[in-house]
Every structure is written in C-alpha cells, then in structure tokens.
Structure 1
Amino acid sequence: MSSTSSIRVRFAPSPTGMFHVGGARSALFNWVMAAQSGGTLVLRIEDTDTSRNSPEWTEGIIRAMAWLGMDGGQYEGPYFQSANADKHAAAARTLIEAGRAYYCDCVRDDVIARTGDQHKGYDGFCRDRGLEPGPGRALRFRTPDRGHTTVIDLLRGKPVFENAVLEDFVLARADGSVTFLLANAVDDMSQGITHVVRGEEHLSNAPKQQLLWEALGGEPPVWAHVPVIVNEKRQKLSKRRDKVALEDYQAEGYLAAAMRNYLMLLGWAPSGDREIVPWEVIVDEFRIEDVNTSPAFFDEKKLRSFNGEYIRALPVEEFAAACLPFLESAPFEADPAVFDQLAPLAHTRVAVLAEIVPMVDFVFLDEPPFDEQSWNKGMKGPAAEILAAAEEAYRDAPWETAELKDRLEQVGVAHGLKLGKTQAPVRVAVTGRTVGLPLFESLEILGRERTLARIAAARAKLAAASPAS
C-alpha cells in the first residue's frame, strides 16, 4: 500500500458484550492499513441499540484497543453513532425526496400470505401506494429493478449482485429508529471513510450499502471482507460456546504483543517460514489483499505457545514486573525480595502470567498446598524411606543448590533409584505438586528449617495413613 495515499478506515463495534477476538482482529487489520499509509483509524461506537448497549462494554472496547496498542497519532475517536441521529434523519428525507425511499405498512405475515413462501423477501407491495409517514409504517429503500451492483472487494475480487434479487430493505423502523444499513452508510460518508475492512458476514450488506452511498451522492468505499474465525470443530466462534473475550485472555496473563501477533495471522502470514515476528515487520509486510478468504482457525493452544515464546523473550526484570499484578491478587503475601530470586526460575516455565501464582505459592504459604493427585503420584513405593533419608542427609548439608542435589542423588543410589524417582516424594512434600520450579534451587530459597519441617510433616502423614499404624 502506497505510503503517499493516506486512507481512513474505521472500526465500528456495537457495545453489547465483551470485546470479541474477531473484532480485535478486524481492528488490527484496519490499524495496520492506516499505519502503512500515514492514515487514520476511526473508532465509532454503534450504540443506537439502547436495549443492548452498556457504557461498561464501550469502556471495555476502548481499554482493550489501547492494550493492543491501538492509540496515539493515527487513532481518532471514539465517536458515537447515536450523536449522528440528525444526519441519519436528513439522509432519510433526502432519499424520500429523490424518490429512492417509500413508506410501507406491511408486516411479515402479509408478505408470506401474498407470496406463499415464508423464506422469500419483501415483495415490493407498497412501492407505489404513496403512503405518508405514520404509525406502523417503516421506510424502505427503492432498490433498482434492473441491472446489477458490483462490489470491489480487495479479497474477493468483484462480486456481482443482481439488483432484482435485492429486496427493498428497511431504512427506518416503524418507531422512527434507523437501521444499521442507513446509519452505517451515512456515518461512513460523513467521516470520510475510504476503506471498509470487516467480517465476511457483512458481505451481503455491501451491495445495499453501496446503493445507499450512490443514492446519497457519495463514492462507495473500497471493501475488504475478511474470513470468519472458527473453532477446532470449524464452527464460527461463538461467545455462547467458545472463549472469545479479549478481556479473558488479558486477565489470564496473555501479553498484548503475543495476542497482537497471533491475531494478525488469522488469515494472513508474513514472508518466509516464520510466524512470531516483530510488530514492525508485520506493519511493513501486511497487505490486506494477501489475506486468505478461507475460514481462519483460532487455535488456543497455538496462542498459548506464542505467549510462552513472548514471555521467554522478556528480560527477567520485565517478566517479574509483569507478574506483580497476579501476585498482588493471590491468596498470600509475596515478599518482593524472595520473588526476585524465584523469577529467573519461573521465567521459562510459564505460558501465561497467571501460572506464576501456583508455581511459587509454596514458598509464601505456611504449609505447601495439598493436591490429592500429586500426593498419590509422588508418595508411593519407597517414598517414606526416601523422605527419611533425605531429612537425615539435609540436616547438616551446606544449604546450596549443588550440595542439595548431590545429597539427594546419594539417597537415590542407596535405594537403587535415579534422581528423577528420588526427588518425586521430596518435591511433593515441599511444594505440594509433582511439577514446578527446579527443585534444588527452590529448596535453597525455601531454607533449611522450612524444608525439613515439610519433609517431617509428610513423613508423619504417610505414617498415619500406613496400614501398619
């Protein structure tokens, strides 16, 4: 895209719920297109459906976009569609005066009775009745009887829609409120939108909106309808069935950079055999024309892997700082100095930041957490004997990582076990889990007194559960 040809794109969500990852992808595509041309991304909140809208959802959209980095010089808004009611009404009057719109008092049952087909669209019954505005009368657009409408789409070529099969669609409801089709076209025209990039579910609306642009004397925008996003069953992502709220991923500790990178790959790929690339490369290489029209699979496992890569790329100091909000809401008080010692151990082991809490909790709790499955897995076979020998070996050991490992290896040799098997009951006794941070570094940080106390407590619990007792 030429840097000398500035564009104006828009992201126009309805604030009826949490911020959908599909909406976030569309916003990012628009954002990158604006960045490439030195153009502008307009955020327009389509808030005319007052029964479903909430200021909370609007604030969530704005916060989520800022989290992803969509703010600053090329960002404009937010604007609110409800503020344009006078413009919508004026456009409706213009269409009526030009003979491009008419009033209709038909209800759906009337249309079905006339056509005998409940699936058929409106039959144009009121086109020439000359009805005046009044209760129960909607305003319809007079679609041309002949010819066709060609939509210039950067992804899909030039889809052609026969005007004869486009019904006379409603512009304003019987209560006077305008529909999405009219409000959207008027707002795009008044805000100088040059390119409309949105989900493919809106492709069927494009010829209707293009006819409206032309009827109102405007030059239609360049269209780009990006592919639908599907789950692992190849079903369209649904907020009722799938995890689709961007805020949920943010709350789990996904990094904005990882989420941004991953969302850009839903339908597009950078050059070469790579997926994790700097944002600057994405902005330089992305072309909306290169987006694949096939459904894009939202793979949460892959996103998680992406996030782990981004976390590991952070300097350990930044990783520790990013973990702090999760530790602050944990059910324990984390000593910052102690966590600074744990952070390098955890840095390469978490895929999302929320995992830091169960990974380090054993250090800050008075007693290790109890997980029955971990206990049963770790405390089997010669666990009691190993714990007794470990307790004895650690009683006078120099308290540093290498010596702690060497002492436990010797315990294993005496029992004919490799270190992995030997350390299992010790890990469960001290941390409460079968997996976690490197054991011997953890023991060094935990300290001799607490380590020995936990091993002794585990031995006592095993003894109490023994049939011989």
Structure 2
Amino acid sequence: MFHVGGARSALYNWAVARQTGGTFVLRVEDTDAARNKPEWTDGIINALAAIGIHEDDPAFEGPYFQSHNAARHTEAGLRLYDAGRAYYCDCTREQLKERTGSEHLGYDGHCRERGLVHEEGRALRFRTPDEGETVVTDLVRGAPAFPNSAIEDFVIARGDGSPVFLIANVVDDLDEGVTLVVRGEEHLSNTPKQQLLWEALGAEPPRWAHLPVIVNEKRQKLSKRRDKVALEDYLAEGFLPAAMVNYLMLLGWGPGGDREILPYEEMEQLFRIEDVNTSPAFFDVKKLTAFNGEYIRALAPEQFAAACAPWLVAPHAPWDPAAFDTAVFEAAAPLAQTRLTILSEITAGVDFLFLAEPVHDEASWAKAMKPGADAILRDARAALATTAWQADDLKSALVAVGEQHGLKLGKAQAPIRVALTGRTVGLPLFESMELLGRERVLGRLDAAYQKLAAQSSSRNG
C-alpha cells in the first residue's frame, strides 16, 4: 500500500518537476524479491494517478525497475575495487562483536589492508576516507557535515555478490540522470555514504532535500504497524483525492497567508522546496476530515452524486437494491452534502429512506425516548395524519405538538427523528419526512409507539 509519507514526497517531487520543466522519475526498487509483486507496482501507479501524477504526462518517466540494472550495480562495485576504493572482507558478525565488544559500534576496518580477493562469502566494503568530512548540500536542511571518521567502511555488495541498496541507488540515479532527490529525513543518514559513492564513481552528487518526518497525535513517527497510513485506505473510506492532495502538500510547507484550502494547480506554482521546514509534520486526521468536508461541499450536485455512488451499492449499502430510488436519493443528496465530512457517511445518512424499517441505534433510542415520548409520538401521529405534506407544514405541525407538551421544537422532534431515521442526528427532519411520504412516516411512528409500550409493559411486569 502507498504510505501517505510517500505520497507527500511524490507530490513535492512532482511540483518541482512541473515547475522547472524537469522530469519526475518513478523507480521501483524491487531487488528484494520477497517484498516485490507486480500487483504492488500497479498499486503504486494507481495511487499516484489518484493524486494527479499520471504516467502519460510528459513530466513522468518510468517506471524503471532496479532489478533490471543489477549488472550495472555489480560492475560499479568492481570498478571501485579495481580503483582501490573498495576491498573484500570475510569478517562475521560474531568476530566483529568479539573484537569490539558490541555489534552496534560499526565495522572496525579489520580487513582494510589484508588484500583479500573475491571469494564466495566475502562482502565488498567501501573504503571511507580517513580524514575530512562529507558535506551534504540539502535544500531543506542547509549543509549538514558528517565527519568521515564517523562513517564506517560500509558494505556495497553482500557475500553472495548481490549489490546493496546504497550502491544500487547511486548507479540508478546516475544512469537515469537524477539531479535532485526529494525524500524523507529518515534517509539523511544514508546520504553521506551515497555522496561518497557518487564522488568515488567520478560523478557530481545530486542536490538533496530531506523532508520532515510525519508524526501522529502522540508525536510518534507515523507507522504502518500502529497508524492508518495507506493512501488507498483513506480514498476507500471516502476522502476525496483533491482534499488528500491539498492536505499532504501542507505537511511541512505552506503557501503563505491565511489560506489553506486551495487547488493543487495554485500550490504547484507557489511551492518552493527551499521553503519546506524541518519540524515534524503532524498528520492530523481531524484537520484532514475538515478539509474533506470543505471539498465535498464544493462539489457540483452531479459530482457529489457520482462520488457517493460506490457507497450506495453492495457491500456498503444495507438495503435491498430493488428498494433504492434514484429520484429520492437525488432529492436527498443536497441535504446530505452540507453535512458529510467523509463520503462513506452517506450510507448511514440515507439508509432510512431505503430500508423497510429504520435500524434504531440503541444509544439514540435511550437518549430520545424519555418519559413522555410516547405521548409526543401519539400526538404527532394524529397531527401528521391530516397536515399538508410539505416540509414547512410538517414543521408547523410539530411545533404545535411541542407547544402542547411545553417543549421547544428541538426537544419535541427528538423522539420523532429516532422513530423515523433510527438516529438522533442526520438529514433535516422535515425534508426527510417529505421524502419518506405520509404512509411510511405514520407507520414508523406507530411502530415506535408500540415498541415503547412493549418496553413499558416489560418493565412493569
């Protein structure tokens, strides 16, 4: 699944590429066979398309597959060995721990001058310079410097000869002409090693931009093991792609001024990678939800109806498909559109219109059906049997019922709403009654009255 952090990085890369007339390169790093399946690559491409990054756009290049370039990775490692910039090592973890007293201190250079040649089981290590420092030119973080003495002689090819991530990435970037790498800050620790490899291979390193980490409400790094992080999950729940894009762009960057809700096209023009800050970015689901509500309300009626369509059929819809009335939904849609914050809420919002009987939420029932509710239901039923069936007339009738019982409309309508819809909140009551029709309204009031009577009898018994 496509992590929202990856989606944020992709959007920033895309903005820079489109601003500068450059190219967005999609590379699938598939050298770990256990973590690679063709359908996962398709998922990445589909997720990118959902947020506006399309492979048929002139600014899009790829996908490239790292596994297809394995021979070049191996050749680069051998070239470094021939130039004296790498050496073979036969040390085991146990030997290293025995020499240093810890498996966490890094490699101690034991094989540097042993002159070992390639044999099965010997890893190839890069010979890190003993002196000086490696300065990373980072568009977000300035110019962090890493003393070379603190960088171990790191492995670039395993004992079986397979290249590791570090050199594979550098060779692929070289071959694909990458000049700017925009990625999460967790990769910053790899950067001096990669930069040393670029220089050892006789090439000028790209510019780097390491984005702030994304954290949850506890200020912990967003984790797929603990948090909902997949872009696809949010889209499947009913977050609009445009709202997701808007929110993700603001995780570390802002357009300036007070505006936060603005179209991607405008953000793309305003975005500057140098303006991204270094502080952790809080993934605030409540704020994302509020953004989504704004985008839902901005949809044209036909767009809103089309966006709701997946949640009006199985497996989401609890009603018999034959009971769904398109005309009734189209009449209810404008009432729902102003209240939804996530598209999937539409199912529960309109289910009472298409179910034979409403599903009474027990908490709502207990809250609304206080002593005296039976009398309100009885008198409302009598009033509604003869009133004109328009929302304004229905409201007037229930206002009068409330006055009979010394209640304001808000209190008087609570048991009626639960009787008709099953919940204490939802679409405007009187417009909902108009859509339900007189027969179904009266029948549901009767059923609720009888349920209350049965509950009362059971308690008294």
- Give the TM-score normalised by structure 1: 0.95
Partner of 1:364: 354
Structure 2 unaligned blocks of 5 or more: none
Question: Letter of the aligned partner of 1:424 in structure 2?
Answer: A
Q: Is 1:44 the equivalent of 2:30?
A: no
2:86 to 101, 105, 111: 101
Q: Deviations over 1:195-219 (max 9, x none)?
A: 0011111111111101111111211
Q: Deviations over 1:140-178 (max 9, x none)?
A: 111111121111001111111111211111111112221
Task: Give the Cα–Cα distance (whole angstroms) in 2 for the partners of residues 236 and 74 of structure 1.
Answer: 31
- Tell me the SS of whatever aligns to 1:466: helix
1:172 to 153, 157, 173: 157
How far off its partner does 1:113 sit?
1.4
RMSD value, Cα: 1.1
2:248 to 242, 249, 263: 263
How far off its partner does 1:28 sit?
0.6
- Tell me the SS of whatever aligns to 1:218: coil
Structure 1 unaligned blocks of 5 or more: 1-17
Partner of 2:441: 451
How far off its partner does 1:53 sit?
2.1
- Tell me the SS of whatever aligns to 1:161: strand
Partner of 1:65: 48
Q: Once structures 1 and 2 are overlaid, which stretch shifts more, 322-331 or 24-33?
A: 322-331
How far off its partner does 1:451 sit?
0.8
Pairs within 5 Å for 1:237-316: 237-316=222-301
Task: Give the Cα–Cα distance (whole angstroms) in 2 for the partners of residues 295 and 395 of structure 1.
Answer: 61
- Tell me the SS of whatever aligns to 2:34: coil
Pairs within 5 Å for 1:154-165: 154-165=139-150
- Tell me the SS of whatever aligns to 2:33: coil
- Tell me the SS of whatever aligns to 2:254: coil
Partner of 2:13: 30
- Tell me the SS of whatever aligns to 2:109: coil
Task: Give the Cα–Cα distance (whole angstroms) in 2 for the partners of residues 185 and 344 of structure 1.
Answer: 54
How far off its partner does 1:378 sit?
1.1
Q: Is 1:142 the equivalent of 2:132?
A: no
Q: Is 1:128 the equivalent of 2:118?
A: no
Aligned length: 452
Task: Give the Cα–Cα distance (whole angstroms) in 1 for the partners of residues 185 and 425 of structure 2.
Answer: 45
Partner of 2:365: 375
Q: Once structures 1 and 2 are overlaid, which stretch shifts more, 113-122 or 312-321?
A: 113-122
Q: Is 1:431 the equivalent of 2:421?
A: yes
- Tell me the SS of whatever aligns to 1:196: strand
Task: Give the Cα–Cα distance (whole angstroms) in 2 for the partners of residues 405 and 20 of structure 1.
Answer: 48
Question: Letter of the aligned partner of 1:145 in structure 2?
Answer: D
2:99 to 108, 114, 118: 114
Task: Give the Cα–Cα distance (whole angstroms) in 1 for the partners of residues 383 and 289 of structure 2.
Answer: 40
- Give the TM-score normalised by structure 2: 0.96
Question: Letter of the aligned partner of 2:43 in structure 1?
Answer: G
1:351 to 314, 331, 341: 341
Task: Give the Cα–Cα distance (whole angstroms) in 2 for the partners of residues 126 and 214 of structure 1.
Answer: 23
Moved runs in structure 1, 4+ residues, more than 3 A?
Answer: none
Q: Is 1:463 the equivalent of 2:453?
A: yes
Task: Give the Cα–Cα distance (whole angstroms) in 1 for the partners of residues 159 and 240 of structure 2.
Answer: 47
Q: Once structures 1 and 2 are overlaid, which stretch shifts more, 179-188 or 141-150?
A: 141-150
Q: Deviations over 1:210-244 (max 9, x none)?
A: 11111112110001111101111111001111111
How far off its partner does 1:93 sit?
1.6
Partner of 2:390: 400
How far off its partner does 1:280 sit?
2.0
Partner of 1:324: 309
- Tell me the SS of whatever aligns to 2:344: helix
- Tell me the SS of whatever aligns to 2:415: helix
Task: Give the Cα–Cα distance (whole angstroms) in 1 for the partners of residues 68 and 368 of structure 2.
Answer: 64
